[in-house]
Structures are given as structure tokens and as C-alpha cells.
Amino acid sequence: MTDAGDGANREVWTSKLAYLYATAAAAIGLGSLWRFPYVAGANGGGAFVILYILFVGIICLPIMIGEMAVGRRGHGSVIGSMRRLVAAEGASRAWLAIGWLSLTIPFFGLSYYSVVAGWGADYARLAIAQGFTGIDADGSRALFEELIGSPWRQVAFQGAFIAAVAFVVARGVRRGIELVSRIKMTALFVVLLGLVLYNAVTVGLGPALDFLFYPDFSRMTGTGVLTALGQALFSTAIGVGVLMTYSAYLPKGVSLPQSAALVSGSVIFIAMMAGLAIFPSVLFYGLEPTEGPNLIFVTLPVAFGGMPGGRIVSIAFFCLIALGAFTTAVGMLEPVVAWLIERTGWRRGPLAWLTAAAIYAVGLPSMLSFNLLKDVHPLGFLPPFAGKTFFDVLDFGIADLLLPLNALLIALFAGWAIRRTITPAETDLSPTGYRVWHFAVAIVAPAAIVGLMIHILA
């Protein structure tokens, strides 16, 4: 890549398939493999799943098309693309906030996301080195507490994870991001399918299918409905900068609605597969599916320890978690690096390593939130952040506040501010399809997101 001051001479994907692989790989990460199972379990299973799928299709898909259209039309970094479209439309420069949020969210998001990713890598190592044979609930909890209680152990795994991400981004779109995305998506499908088939043969899928797909709306609360919307936004990578950045490397002739539908469909499919990989064992061994964030790292090792062939299954599962987090992290680093290349004209390699080092340094307080800084509450004087550690502040601030806010702004920008620029031809929609899309992105999506944010801040 060269200095893309005018958006020219940027790298492009080798094919439409490469773009789809990379975009899906960036969207499908801990949101689908770690967060979805536990929020589905905590919110009643089937009813939550149905609402989640509906929200992805009705709310997220239209915003994805809009964000992709902005990136392809702008053909630059998130800041460069927004500047070009604002100038072309004569819109207010206040809309540039979308670009800056699309840099802030991945930069600070990756700083704490890499902490959980480091746990996944450490558990993959534990599964390979010793497995979880015979472990009980107390032993599993003690193992996890030992991990998060060791600053140096977390420093090492978080650092190794971010270094690997920087290495891929430094290699560029074709030699780095494309290659690792193809590997991830292939491995993801094979491993998840293998785990689901293993469950079908050993413990059966019946109870898990009932739990995930039989809706009991009496168990669904207003909070659960809004949690489903939040999970839909979180898991589709809207507002994180990756959709806009990756679409800037996309040539004309690729259907954005088709691409957005395939990516969002992949996110839903993998989330369902993850549920069928996790819940059959959890339910069969009498464990609690409503365990919350500890479901993966505390509850599942108990199941792995008691099942035949559990060590092999645990290796496959935790390697899958680490790999899933990896390409999402690549997608979070790329928008920041792309902007720095555009801004400075420096080479990609050094910028990738310098940015990764800065993110690692910013993430140290989040990593230490589970040991040395566990009693430090930096924004405790603000009611929404009372009792929250550095990690909790970033998680709440990014996932629950800034990400929905940026999704809202993108929907409003695409729906109202650039109607002369984002035309039916630009979105690859028919006139009728464009009218339906415009109503969804300009009216339905903003109303839903505002409702979510009011609930969060209430």
C-alpha cells in the first residue's frame, strides 16, 4: 500500500470470495463463539435466538449495506471515506464523528478484547499440555482464577496474541488478511461441524435443540429483547470500522446486499453451530447454561473432563476460540493502520507493529483488572461506571455505549445525509429494494438503537 491521500493505489481483494472470507472472518469472533452462547443461555434460549436472528436481518443487515456502501464509495480509510462523502454531499462535518468513532472503537476495543483472546490461547495450551480429565467445578474455577490472578501469565499471552495480529496486518491485504481469513473460515466450519457431530453421537442434540430453537416467550423479558439487539450489533461488526475499511478495497461489480446477506448469514450460522457445539455437553452433564461469561472457561472444562475423548474435544474447542478471536482482532487493527498509512504515507509494516504496541500498552490496565488493579474503579464517581474496573469500563463504554452510538450515526448518515451519493446503483438495489432498504436504515434501525441506548443508560 502506498500513501492513499486521494484513495488511489490502494490494495484490492483478489476476488469477491476473498472479500467475503475476510469480512465474515472479522465479524465472527468472540461475539459469536464466546458471548452468544452465554447471553442466549442467560436469556431463555429459543425466544432469544429467534429475536436475535430477526434483529440481524431487520436492523443489522440494512446498516451493513450502508456501511459497506460508504467504504466502497469513499475508497479510503474510515476518516478518508467519510471526508470524501461529506464533501461530495455538502453535508455537515459533524458526520466525521463516524470516522473517528470507527478508529476509537477498534483501538480501545482491541486493547481489552485481546485480554479474553489471551485466555483462549492459554486454555488451548492447557488443553494440549494436560487436558481437563477428572476436573470438577471447584477445580475448574480454581484453574481459571489462577490464570486471571497471574499478571505475568496474562502479559505473555496477551502480548503473543497481539504480536501475531500485527504480523498478519503488516503483511497486507492479500498476503496477510486474505490468507489467514481463508484458513480461519475453513477451520471454523470443520471444527464446529466435528464438535456438533461428536455431540450428536455421544450425548445427543435433542435437549440442546429444544433449548436453542423451541421458543418460550414467557421467559423473555424486556431486558432480554434489548440484549438480543445488542448481541446482533456486537456480533455483526457494525460500527467497528472493519466493514467500511474492507469495503474500501472492493472493486465495482460486487453486490453489496448479497455480500451483506452472506456475511450476516454466516454470523447467524456460526452462532447456531457454536450453540450446538456447547449446550449438548453442558445440558447432558447437568451443568448450568445460564453461567454467564464463565460458561466457556469454567463450566465447559468440567464437561470436557468427564466425556470420552474429552481432551481431543477440548483442544479443538479452545483452538477454535483462539482462532475465532484472531481474525476479529486483525479486522480491528486494520482500520487504524489503514488510516495511519493514509495520514502519514509510512510503510504498512512499521505502522502495524507500532499500533499494536500502543494497543498492548493501553490494554495493560484491563489485563491487570483481574489481579493487581481488581479493586481500582477509575470512573466510580459516575453512576453508570460505579464498581467497574478498567476492563469493565472499556467493555461497557465500547460494547454498550460507543458501538450502538456509531451504528446509530451510520444508519442516520446513510439514510438521511447522503441520499444524492448513495443511490440505488451505489447500493446495487432495485428501486423497490432501495425504498425498503432506505426505510429500514433511516427509520427502523435508528428507532431500535435509540431504544437500546435508553435502556442501557436508564
Provide the CA 320 distance to its chain's centre, in angstroms: 15
Q: Is residue 3 part of a domain?
A: no
Write out the H or E segment, with its range, that includes residue 194. Answer: helix 179-202
The Cα 156–Cα 161 span in angstroms is 9
| Residue 96 DSSP label | G
Would you give per-residue pLDDT tens digits along the chain (458 residues)?
333 344 434 678 999 999 999 999 999 988 888 788 888 888 878 899 999 999 999 999 999 999 999 999 999 999 999 999 999 999 999 999 999 999 999 999 999 999 999 999 999 999 999 999 889 989 999 999 999 999 999 999 999 999 999 999 999 999 999 999 999 999 999 999 999 999 999 999 999 999 888 888 887 888 889 889 999 999 999 999 999 999 999 877 889 999 999 999 999 999 999 999 988 988 888 877 766 667 789 888 988 998 888 899 999 999 989 998 999 999 999 999 999 999 999 999 999 999 999 999 999 999 999 999 999 999 999 988 999 999 999 999 998 899 999 999 999 999 999 887 787 878 889 999 999 999 999 999 999 999 999 988 87
Q: Is residue 4 part of a domain?
A: no
Domain that holds residue 267: 16-457
In this predicted model, what pLDDT tens digit does every residue of 39-82 receive, in sequence order?
888 887 889 999 999 999 999 999 999 999 999 999 999 999 99
Amino acid at 174: R
pLDDT of residue 252: 74
Q: Is residue 224 part of a domain?
A: yes
- Answering whether pTM is above 0.85, one says yes
Please tell me whether residue 157 adopts helix, strand or coil conformation.
helix
Q: Is residue 56 part of a domain?
A: yes
In this predicted model, what pLDDT tens digit does every residue of 361-415 receive, in sequence order?
999 999 999 999 999 999 999 988 999 999 999 999 998 899 999 999 999 999 9
Distances (CA, A) of 104 to 22, 23, 34, 119, 294: 21, 20, 23, 24, 28
Q: Is residue 142 part of a domain?
A: yes
pLDDT of residue 7: 43
Q: Is residue 11 part of a domain?
A: no
Q: Is residue 426 part of a domain?
A: yes
Angle 8-11-13 (CA atoms, 0-180°, nearest 5)?
A: 130
Q: Which three cell numbers stand for residue 317?
A: 474447542
The Cα 71–Cα 233 span in angstroms is 18
pLDDT of residue 3: 37
Helix axes 137-148, 97-129, angle to 10 degrees: 130
Q: Where are the alpha helices (DSSP H) in 253-377?
A: 256-284, 294, 300-306, 310-344, 348-368
Q: Where are the alpha helices (DSSP H) in 43-175?
A: 46-55, 61-74, 78-89, 97-129, 137-148, 151-170, 172
pLDDT of residue 10: 65
What does the CA dihedral 73, 79, 85, 90 come to, rounded to 10 degrees? Answer: -170
- For 420, list phi and psi in degrees, rounded to 5: -80, -25
Provide the CA 272 distance to its chain's centre, in angstroms: 15
b/e sequence 199-237, b meaning 16+ C-beta within 10 Å? beeebebeebeebbeebeeeebeeebbbbbbbbbbbbbb
Q: Which residue has the cell 476509537?
A: 104
Length of the chain: 458
Q: Which residue has the cell 456486537?
A: 234
CATH code of the domain containing 238: 1.20.1740
User: Pick from 418, 78, 406: which is nearest to 238 by CA?
Assistant: 406
- Count of the separate structural domains present in the chain: 1
Beta-carbon-side half-sphere exposure of residue 344 (alpha carbons within 13 Å): 12
Amino acid at 151: P
pLDDT of residue 6: 44
The Cα 400–Cα 397 span in angstroms is 6
Q: Is residue 5 part of a domain?
A: no
pLDDT of residue 8: 39
Task: Annotate 170-185 with DSSP letters as a single string.
Answer: HTHIIIIIIHHHHHHH
